[in-house]
Structure 1
Amino acid sequence: MSGGSDAPAESKPAMSSNLVVAMWAGFSSLLQLPPPSCRLMFPRRYGFTFVLSLTLCHFIATTVFLEGVTQFKLFGSSVKHMETKDNWLTAFCGVLSIAFMNFSLQANSVGFYQITKLCIIPVVLGIEYAKSGKTVSYRVLISLGLLLAGVGIATVTDIQLNMKGCMYAVIAVLTTAQFQLWQGSKQKQHGLSAIQITHSIALPQTLITLASVVVVEPNVTSHTFSSNYVDVALIVLTCLIAMVMNVTSFGLIGKTSAVTFQVVGHAKTCLIIASGFIFFPPAYFSANEIKNLFGLFVAILGMVLYGHIKTVDQRRSNGDQSPDCLDSLLPDPKFKAAGASQMQEEEEIQPIVKEEEGEKS
């Protein structure tokens, strides 16, 4: 009886954990859709070129929102902070990441900006290897390679290079990769929830950005808003989205990893491209649209393969030796060795079992 009751107890938390990850991934994908469009709309349509000031509005909204959430213990969150050094270092890296991603978006063409985003996963893997020697299996690298190649084929069109834009892109990629690694490691190190760690760095991020605005964008006060205040409404909208998106990014990275967070972001890009073909099908397919469809197919193949391999790897870490879809083509040496040793043990046990059965008979 006890053996039967243990199984549901083990599967229930796993299902609950998977559900939480799916929830964070869904929120993260949906909430990432409007902000890039709004960031491009402000300078082009309303002449609001103050990237840091817009970022400051987002951090102020996040700080106020999370202060209320933690003070009133909504969602079961209590006030808990990281150590001062980790707090300010993580906050500073987060400010640099967001600010220079915005600078890169303004200074570069859309195609080069997409390449910048594709570079984050390789840089994350490189930082992990350089710092702790952590590596990933070639099977994961194959799936990530397919994903990045597919997204690149489907999204990268015009590429215009300039020195300032390249500098912004390099800083953006390095700081984003490091910030996302810290988003996961600092949560685990200090035992914080997604809401607690976002609240912990929210005020430092606001103060750092405020100081940057005073130095870099002092003329923001001279900006004239439109008479119908549509631009003000858009700023408020992006603030609402940003304060929830900040929490969801910590939540997803805390439950998975920085690489998985990037994979979810690219899944969002594929979703946008696919929805365009589904809801607005072209009368005929041009060469560019065929290229986009091919890239979309390759990217989806990479995403599905990545999810499958990560799932199988998790099962193997728990002792399950079930193969994955690459074993017939590209067998994993470790898995193959484990399987061979298991077969050898079975071969050694079989004669003993037969001998015991013969003695009994």
Structure 2
Amino acid sequence: MGLLESILGKDGRRLMKRKDSDAGQQGRALEELRGTLYSDIHTSEGAKRQQQKLCGPFVALTFNFIVAVGIIMANKVVMGKVGFNFPIALSLIHYVTSWLLMAIFKALSLLPASPPSKSTPFSSLFVLGAVMAMATGLANVSLQHNSVGFYQMAKIAVTPTIVLAEFMILSKRVTLQKVITLTIVSIGVAVATVTDLQFNFFGACVALAWIVPSAINKILWSNLQQTGNWTALALMWKTSPITIFFFVVLMPLLDPPGVLSFNWTWNNASTIIISALFGFLLQWSGALALGATSAISHVVLGQFKTCVIMLGGYVFFNSDPGMVSLSGAVVALCGMSFYTFLNLQGSKESSAVTKPLLSKQNSIAAKPKTIIEEDEMEKMDSV
């Protein structure tokens, strides 16, 4: 080696060292690639980055919208044609199916990693699982005992409840423009859907009891994903057993008797399982939408689905809800469009503020590295 170095001289030795350095850099690049792939699958930070990269607000909301329309049709078949009129038991079947699917994902190492247990108190997960059961179960019972108009009226009340709860718990403020826009949306949805207010005392109590758990449920799902390294699937995996437990408690209290004597034929069971698969997709897509946007945006999306289904029935299936209802749906959709515009404008302004700060931090962080690299090159040349 000494003879070869004496023949090549100083320039040759420098060239060999640069080649060795290039080979070392390639090896480090491969190691970094392996580490990145491992991080994207087996760490909560990497899994959250992948979720944010692959599932932005538009994708998440569109996914949730499509699945919601599908589960409405599936549940109509289950409740109507099959005759399975046990809303809590149906929700229990949905969540048990979701938990089994996620258990399969975990066995195949496909389930995203959860953050360390010390980062999120168990009390937060317990409350989330409990309010999820209360919100889902009470919503189904309310729809069973009340008219669609009264159910929609209770649903509209979730929006101001979320605004008030976020202000009291998280100190979040909503601009005056958004308050006016949300008011217009709520009035439009009320005019479009509240055609009758038929209810009984029990149904009214259930509807009123559903409003607060529904608002808290959306706020917690959104806050835990946006402030911690939780992905939608990881959070579903942790909270599903708690939700299932509360469904078991609620089922004998709120469901009518007779679920065990139901005619469990192959056709009926397969229809309920299909509905349960849609239920898993709905829970997942809803969690993704809450993680990518906010609790209020998710409520507005639900009202958007109601108006689109009504207008779609009028355009494609010759249904006639009346000009007053159609006008309310159009007003609501216009309000939702303006609310979306305000959100996009706010996100652009926040990104415009954060980009100069990030570029300044990157330039400061990159400067010492450049000096170190130049010092290393000078050492190599002096050898």
TM-score normalised by the chain length of structure 1: 0.75
Greater mean alpha carbon deviation, residues 192-201 or residues 269-278: 269-278
Aligned to 2:42: none
Inter-partner Cα distance in structure 2 for 1:134 and 1:289: 39
Aligned to 1:241: 278
The answer (yes or no) to whether the contact 2:152–2:194 under 8 Å persists in 1 is yes
Aligned to 1:302: 335
Pairing of 1:108-119 with structure 2 (within 5 A):
108-119=146-157
Aligned residues: 300
Aligned to 1:272: 309
Runs of at least 4 residues of structure 1 off by over 4 A? 16-19, 36-47, 79-82, 214-221
* Distance 1:279-1:214 versus aligned 2 partners, 3 A rule: closer
Structure 2: which 5+ residue stretches go unaligned?
A: 1-48, 354-383
Counterpart amino acid of 2:112?
S
Deviations 1:227-276 (A, max 9, x none): 6x543233112100011111111111111100001111112112212222
The answer (yes or no) to whether the contact 2:189–2:332 under 8 Å persists in 1 is yes
Pairing of 1:275-354 with structure 2 (within 5 A):
275-281=312-318, 289-319=322-352
Aligned to 1:297, the other structure's residue is in SS state helix
Inter-partner Cα distance in structure 2 for 1:319 and 1:231: 55
Aligned to 2:243: 205
Aligned to 1:191, the other structure's residue is in SS state coil
Which of 213, 217, 227 aligns to 1:179? It is 217
Q: CA deviation at 1:20?
A: 2.0
The answer (yes or no) to whether the contact 1:56–1:209 under 8 Å persists in 2 is yes
The answer (yes or no) to whether the contact 2:114–2:235 under 8 Å persists in 1 is no
Counterpart amino acid of 2:162?
V
Inter-partner Cα distance in structure 2 for 1:198 and 1:111: 31
Pairing of 1:1-361 with structure 2 (within 5 A):
20-36=56-72, 39=75, 42=78, 46-74=82-110, 77-79=112-114, 82-213=120-251, 219-225=257-263, 229-281=266-318, 289-319=322-352
Inter-partner Cα distance in structure 1 for 2:193 and 2:57: 27
Aligned to 1:160, the other structure's residue is in SS state coil
Counterpart amino acid of 2:291?
G
The answer (yes or no) to whether the contact 1:187–1:194 under 8 Å persists in 2 is yes
Counterpart amino acid of 2:306?
T
Counterpart amino acid of 2:330?
F
Aligned to 2:172, the other structure's residue is in SS state coil
Q: CA deviation at 1:196?
A: 0.8
Greater mean alpha carbon deviation, residues 211-220 or residues 57-66: 211-220
Counterpart amino acid of 1:164?
F
Counterpart amino acid of 2:271?
L
Aligned to 1:157, the other structure's residue is in SS state coil
Aligned to 2:263, the other structure's residue is in SS state coil
Q: CA deviation at 1:49?
A: 3.0
Inter-partner Cα distance in structure 2 for 1:147 and 1:180: 19
Counterpart amino acid of 2:240?
A
Aligned to 2:199, the other structure's residue is in SS state coil
Inter-partner Cα distance in structure 2 for 1:278 and 1:43: 26
TM-score normalised by the chain length of structure 2: 0.71
The answer (yes or no) to whether the contact 1:39–1:102 under 8 Å persists in 2 is no
Inter-partner Cα distance in structure 2 for 1:274 and 1:176: 26
Bigger radius of gyration, 1 or 2? 2
Aligned to 1:33, the other structure's residue is in SS state helix
The alignment-based identity, stated in percent, is 21
Aligned to 1:67, the other structure's residue is in SS state helix
* Distance 1:123-1:77 versus aligned 2 partners, 3 A rule: same
The answer (yes or no) to whether the contact 1:147–1:302 under 8 Å persists in 2 is yes
The answer (yes or no) to whether the contact 1:71–1:79 under 8 Å persists in 2 is no
RMSD of the TM alignment (CA)?
2.6
Aligned to 1:48, the other structure's residue is in SS state coil
* Distance 1:116-1:37 versus aligned 2 partners, 3 A rule: farther
The answer (yes or no) to whether the contact 2:141–2:254 under 8 Å persists in 1 is no
The answer (yes or no) to whether the contact 1:112–1:159 under 8 Å persists in 2 is yes
Deviations 1:54-113 (A, max 9, x none): 111011101011122233233x72355654222222101100000000110011011101
Aligned to 2:84, the other structure's residue is in SS state coil
Q: CA deviation at 1:312?
A: 1.4
